[in-house]
Amino acid sequence: MVSKGAAMGSASAKEGWSSRSAFILAAVGAAVGLGNIWRFPTLAGENGGGAFVLVYVAFVALLGLPLVLAEIATGRIGQTDAVGSVRDVARRSNASTGWSITATLGTIGAFLILSFYSVVAGWVLYYAGVMGGELVSAIGRGDPLGGAFAGENNEQIQSRLGALLGNWPLLLGLHAAFMGVTWFVVSRGVHSGIEKAATILMPIFFFLLIGITIYGAFAGNFSEATAFLFTADFSKLTPQVINEALGQALFSLSLGVAGLITYGSYIKQSGGLGGTAATIALADTGVALLAGLMIFPIVFGASLDPAGGPTLVFQALPVAFQTMPGGALIGFLFFLLIFVAALTSSVSLLEVPTAWGKGELKWSRHTSATIFGLGAFGLGVFALLGYNVLSDVRPLGFWGIFENADILDTIDGFTGKIMLPVGVMILSIFIGWKADRKMMQAATGLSGGMFKLWRFLIAWLCPIAVGLVLLFGLFPGLLG
């Protein structure tokens, strides 16, 4: 099947994926990132484990999967940047082109997320360097399978994060390095940049993930970890927890900021997209759960607190790498794994505004990637200064839910709690109610019954569920 969009596609020199599997790899690379290995364990730990995990998985299946399909199909029809693609679907459906506001908001959102994502990825880079140094010194001692941080006490190990956050020139350098690599990949283009990076990095990622998980299962406390992650205590389910679970499902699948619309626009191949969307959602969720099974056995094995918060991965795990056999090596591989995952995701974030500059402003890819890369870098500089020079700044301090949020937390919270849900809500209303049904069925390639189910989830469940979560998340007072 050749979709209408592909048949009417623009210039022949248009960029695209070289195969269906290349697209899947790149999309899985975009989805799997800090969200899976840093954010998911943090939230699961803080929100009591099993019940949170269950709600998160339910959101992925009922809302995430249909939305992944909706975004990819929209991009495939439009064959251009996200704003242009939604506009194209609107035109072909005789709907207002004003619906493209969902993609405009998304493009801004991707730019904002990239700014702080690169800062956090810089911390990962730092820890990879620290653990690499520990590995080198373990080898120097003639004990390559020894632990890290020999002779240090827990406070000394954990103080590294605080020292890093206080050192803004170092943070700046790490942020610049990570953004530079991201820029390099994106400016090389879809085929020789993004696709190539994904085909090299994703196999390395899966190899490390499975290796460390198997290791942790033997070396850590696997039974306590599985009990924590998979036994649901429903008394822990508050509206806040449900809100966090929805936000995590959207963030982890890269939904709501036009990322998958953009990636979908590079699909030239024909064929249904249902299986492709399911593969992406399954792989992403599988990696999050595996990451939980990789991290929590180590956490419980070392008697650490699972509710350690955002610093769990950066402060708690290094303590475990001290006593764990092979700790220096495993620690180094662990941070390398997170770095690889973060890179294939940051690339997708920069690609959204880059494609927009190309499609809407007719800039060259190089110019567009440079301008938006530099812009996101500049905004990220404020986020990292928020830990030291500007630590008193609370950008949205007048707003209750952002009262105590520093600069980075404000950008994270504003995009995650507001922009992503609003983006998917507008998109689902548009696709569910306005987009031409025959065209959407052709673009998704779903059979009759599946198409009806998909449309029902997009038209009814998404707007209502996301709307309720937004309402109670933003106005907690409504629940008394």
**Residue 3, helix vs strand vs coil:** coil
Q: Rounded to whole angstroms, what are the CA distances from 191 to 20, 60, 199, 321? A: 13, 29, 11, 38
Q: Does 31 bind ligand TRP (CB under 6 A)?
A: yes
For the chain, the residue count is: 480
Q: Which is nearer to ligand TRP, 251 or 356 (CB)?
A: 251
Q: Applying CB under 6 A, which part among 296-304, 316-324, 342-350, 462-470 lies near ligand TRP? A: 342-350
Fill in the per-residue mask, 389 to 428: x = in contact with ligand TRP (CB under 6 A), - = not in contact: ----------------------------------------
Q: Which is nearer to ligand TRP, 219 or 313 (CB)?
A: 313
**Contact set for ligand TRP, span 62-121 (CB under 6 A):** 110, 113
The count of residues interacting with ligand TRP (CB under 6 A) is 16
> Closest residue (Cβ) to ligand TRP?
35
* Nearest-approach distance from CB 29 to ligand TRP, in angstroms: 9
Residue 120: count of CB within 10 angstroms of its CB: 24
Residue 338 · residue 318 · CB < 8 Å: no
Fill in the per-residue mask, 252 to 271: x = in contact with ligand TRP (CB under 6 A), - = not in contact: x-x--x-x------------
Question: Does the CA dihedral 245-248-250-256 come out positive or negative?
Answer: positive
Tokens 């991290």 sit on residue: 295
Q: Which is nearer to ligand TRP, 258 or 293 (CB)?
A: 258
Q: Which is nearer to ligand TRP, 111 or 215 (CB)?
A: 111
Name the residue type at position 268: K
Q: Of 59, 33, 55, 34, whose CA–CA distance to 44 is shortest?
A: 55
∠99-104-109 over CA atoms, to 5°? 130
476 CB-near residues (< 8 Å, 6+ apart): 239, 240, 401
Residue 171 · residue 384 · CB < 8 Å: yes
Tokens 């548009």 sit on residue: 430
Q: Does 33 bind ligand TRP (CB under 6 A)?
A: yes
Q: Which is nearer to ligand TRP, 122 or 259 (CB)?
A: 259
Fill in the per-residue mask, 236 to 255: x = in contact with ligand TRP (CB under 6 A), - = not in contact: ---------------xx-x-
Q: Which is nearer to ligand TRP, 324 or 337 (CB)?
A: 337
**Residue 425, helix vs strand vs coil:** helix
Q: Which of 315, 345, 368, 441 forms a contact with ligand TRP (CB under 6 A)?
A: 345
Residue 342 · residue 127 · CB < 8 Å: no
Q: Applying CB under 6 A, which part among 29-37, 57-65, 141-149, 454-462 lies near ligand TRP? A: 29-37
Q: Which of 9, 29, 35, 292 forms a contact with ligand TRP (CB under 6 A)?
A: 35
355 CB-near residues (< 8 Å, 6+ apart): 80, 81, 82, 262, 265, 368
Q: Which residues bind ligand TRP (CB under 6 A)?
A: 30-31, 33-36, 110, 113, 251-252, 254, 257, 259, 345, 348-349
